[in-house]
Structure 1
Amino acid sequence: MADVLLLAASGLARETIESIRQTGDHQVVGILDDNPALHGTVLDGVPVLGGLELASSRGEQLLLCMGKSAARAAAAMRLGLDEERYATHVHSSAFLARSTVLGAGSIVLAGCVATADVVLGRHAVLMPHALLTHDNQLGDFATLAAGAALAGRVRAGDRVYIGTNAAVRENLVLGDDAVLGMGSVLLQDLPAGETWAGSPAHKLYGPAAQRIATARVQEVQAR
């Protein structure tokens, strides 16, 4: 049982702690977070040891637990660590076909299914009961929220976010940094960097979409 550090004292970190405890594939020995107010505190029984800069000087394996895809990407770039430093975690109740490929740092929570020839990029996160069917490909830092379902031969790019209970038709492409809102039904390709929602899903316009776009630009500039 390898020791692991979780990076970010987040909701995803709490879910990962509980998933690892149930599965027993790792021992979570600490959390690293850049918020000084959290240093020395305890999250679900796990101590917050300090900032992310400690990761390079310690020997444990690591899991990025920032909930936002872009935040995980920014942390990985900042740390610049080799892939072998990162663990992968798959809950014992998940079903992953033998043909499934897991990128370094992937987190797969309870009840997820990958049926055949599914590829997950580095630091991808599957929340509970996400469903990936044959020949799906997820890019690096992609996130599928709880209950999201992809039909066959869907390709989702880097840092894609697919919301809770969203569904994607077969043979579609979601470009890098695309966002599909919760409960949406995607029937056509979703261009890179755009946010779509609804059934059928359509591009969001107006103040809400502008706030999302502005936040995404600020995240990129902060890297």
Structure 2
Amino acid sequence: MVDRRNRVPAREPTGAKRPILLVGSNGMAPEVLDAVRAAGSHEPAGFLDDDADRHGTWLDGVPVIGGLDAVTLHPDAELVLCAARGGARASLAARLTTAGIPDARYAVVRHPSVDVPRGCTPGPGTVLLAHVALAGDVQIGRHVMVMPNATLHHGAVLEDFVTLAAGVSLGARVHVGRWAYLGMNASVRERVRVGADAVLGMGAAAVRDVPARETWAGVPAEVLRTWVEPW
């Protein structure tokens, strides 16, 4: 379940822009940067990326200033993780936690076209890109990535590190487990559960529960692959 304790509400602009570091200069980095600029509450201080070949380069006018260890050089900056897959964001978050970065350092990035209703508090590090529609009491965990034009109906639950690609539609009271990835234009029938680390393919329609660590595709969606524990 989504833990609502110690939540970090989305903060509104208060005049001076707050610095923000974008972690990862590939994946969803251009889209997240666009949302940061559109929201207007933060000033991009740079990208952090462990790929040394990217250091000193620029992405859309913002420099790649170093690896994750450079976070210590910007103690006042907030952060957001730009990796497209939940597992990659979880790995980055774990490393930053080890480095002493608390949840309070993570910004909620919300494009101004997104209306967050009363009772819905996105968790730290969550990104809501353009024209995401939230209805009613939607629960959103930590470091969730919701891409443009996704629709979440009332009572939907997104656990930590979930990724919803563009155009995903969730019916009422859908529950999406930790690290799950829902591909572009996938849809989930009301009250269906998508298990942890599951994948729902592009354009798929889930009309029954998707077990954890399975990949489903098609209309209606059926299992394609089951993840097996390696020896």
- Residue aligned with 2:65, SS: strand
Once the two structures are TM-superposed, the CA of residue 78 in structure 1 deviates from its matched residue by 1.4
Instruction: Give the aligned residue type for 2:43.
Output: Q
Q: 1:1-223 residue pairs with structure 2 within 5 A? A: 1-59=17-75, 60-80=77-97, 81-205=101-225, 213=227
Call closer, same or farther: CA 1:93–1:72 in 2, change over 3 Å: same
Q: 1:38 & 1:173 partners in 2: Cα distance?
A: 39
TM-score of the aligned structures, taking structure 1 as reference length: 0.90
Q: Which protein, 1 or 2, shows the higher relative CO under an 8 Å CA cutoff with sep ≥ 6?
A: 2
- CA-based RMSD of the aligned residues comes to 1.5
Once the two structures are TM-superposed, the CA of residue 37 in structure 1 deviates from its matched residue by 0.1
- Residue aligned with 2:21, SS: strand
Once the two structures are TM-superposed, the CA of residue 6 in structure 1 deviates from its matched residue by 0.3
Contact 1:64 1:105 (8 Å CA) reproduced: yes
Instruction: Give the aligned residue type for 2:168.
Output: A
Instruction: Give the aligned residue type for 1:130.
Output: A
Extract structure 1 runs of 4+ deviating beyond 4 A: none
Gaps of 5+ in 1: 219-223
Q: What do residues 180-206 of structure 1 show as CA deviations (whole Å, max 9, x unaligned)?
A: 00100000101011110000000104x
Contact 1:101 1:117 (8 Å CA) reproduced: no
Q: 1:13 & 1:183 partners in 2: Cα distance?
A: 24
Higher helix share: 1
State the number of aligned residues: 210
Q: 2:47 & 2:222 partners in 1: Cα distance?
A: 39
Q: 1:56 & 1:155 partners in 2: Cα distance?
A: 36
> Kindly, what percent of the aligned residue pairs are identical?
43
Instruction: Give the aligned residue type for 2:26.
Output: S
Call closer, same or farther: CA 1:26–1:130 in 2, change over 3 Å: same
Instruction: Give the aligned residue type for 1:46.
Output: V
Question: 1:221 matched to which residue of 2?
Answer: none
TM-score of the aligned structures, taking structure 2 as reference length: 0.87
Q: What do residues 82-109 of structure 1 show as CA deviations (whole Å, max 9, x unaligned)?
A: 1001011110001221221210000000
Q: 1:159 & 1:30 partners in 2: Cα distance?
A: 26
Contact 1:56 1:79 (8 Å CA) reproduced: no
- Residue aligned with 1:4, SS: strand
Q: 1:35 & 1:114 partners in 2: Cα distance?
A: 36
Mean Cα deviation higher: 93-102 or 64-73: 93-102
Once the two structures are TM-superposed, the CA of residue 57 in structure 1 deviates from its matched residue by 4.3
Once the two structures are TM-superposed, the CA of residue 49 in structure 1 deviates from its matched residue by 0.4
Call closer, same or farther: CA 1:120–1:168 in 2, change over 3 Å: same
Instruction: Give the aligned residue type for 1:55.
Output: V
Once the two structures are TM-superposed, the CA of residue 19 in structure 1 deviates from its matched residue by 1.6
- Residue aligned with 1:204, SS: strand
Question: 2:4 matched to which residue of 1?
Answer: none
